[in-house]
């Protein structure tokens, strides 16, 4: 499977709009108004400059079929990396998210090698999002339990999530036996 991560670009706004649907945003509070979507796009474009994370478009061949990101944040008094992803409905259930997740983990493992970088990657899918919770398990994350999680950050919206954690600096565990894609730089 030819899954690649491509750095977020101005052209990725179209992908963000295709993700901003009731079906895709069901577990995270629904679609955002255009102003909020544009602000989110600007934040994604600025992420590399902050040195705190990256946003990527997920490509299957040459088609943008989803997004995936990591960023640094504080969680329960510690600095961690957090990840989140989306795969458009026609491409769900085909291994795209697993391939993109594995490619992202490789990127974040490199980031974790920097001095003072977090050593854990967390994902916080809704407890009701069976597909994303299953993906965490396939990628080698360990379930720490359910928690209340504010999403989007800075809002007052609290969602019941599972806290999944992956040790980025410990020994690598054998993952799923398939090609997990590559990062396009």
Q: CATH code at 17?
A: 3.40.630.30
Residue 183 has pLDDT above 80, yes or no: no
- pTM, two decimal places: 0.87
pLDDT, tens digit, for every residue of 73-105?
999 999 999 999 999 999 999 999 999 999 999
Scanning 51-164, the segments in alpha helix (DSSP H) are 96-111, 130-138
CA distance linking residue 139 with residue 146, whole number of Å: 18
Q: Tell me whether residue 90 is exposed, middle or buried, using C-beta atoms within 10 angstroms of its C-beta: 0 to 12, 13 to 18, 19 or more.
A: exposed
Query: Which of 168, 88, 106, 177 shows the shortest CA–CA distance to 138?
Result: 177
Average pLDDT over residues 21-47: 88
Res. 1 pLDDT band, cuts 50 70 90: confident
Coil/strand/helix, residue 145: strand
Structural domain range at position 34? 3-183
**For residues 111 and 99, what is the distance between their CA atoms, to the nearest angstrom?**
19
User: How many domains, in total, are found in the chain?
Assistant: 1
pLDDT at 170 (0 to 100): 76
Is residue 120 over pLDDT 60? Answer: yes
pLDDT number for residue 155: 62
Query: Are 15 and 64 in contact, with CB atoms under 8 Å apart?
Result: yes
């Amino acid at each position: 499977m030819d899954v690649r991560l491509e750095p977020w670009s101005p052209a990725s706004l179209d992908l963000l709009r295709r993700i901003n649907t009731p079906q895709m945003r069901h577990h995270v509070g629904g679609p955002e108004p255009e102003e909020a979507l544009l602000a989110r796009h600007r934040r994604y474009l600025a992420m590399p400059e902050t040195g705190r994370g990256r946003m990527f478009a997920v490509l299957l061949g040459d088609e943008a079929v989803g997004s995936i990101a990591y960023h640094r944040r504080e969680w329960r008094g510690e600095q961690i990396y957090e990840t989140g992803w989306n795969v458009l409905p026609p491409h769900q259930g085909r291994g795209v998210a697993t391939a993109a997740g594995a490619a992202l983990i490789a990127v974040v493992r490199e980031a974790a090698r920097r001095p003072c970088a977090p050593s854990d990657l967390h994902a916080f899918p809704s407890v009701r999002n069976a597909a994303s919770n299953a993906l965490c398990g396939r990628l080698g994350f360990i379930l720490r339990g359910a928690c209340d999680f504010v999403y989007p950050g800075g809002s007052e919206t609290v969602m019941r999530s599972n806290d999944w954690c992956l040790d980025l600096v410990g020994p690598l565990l054998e993952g799923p036996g398939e090609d997990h894609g590559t990062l396009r730089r």
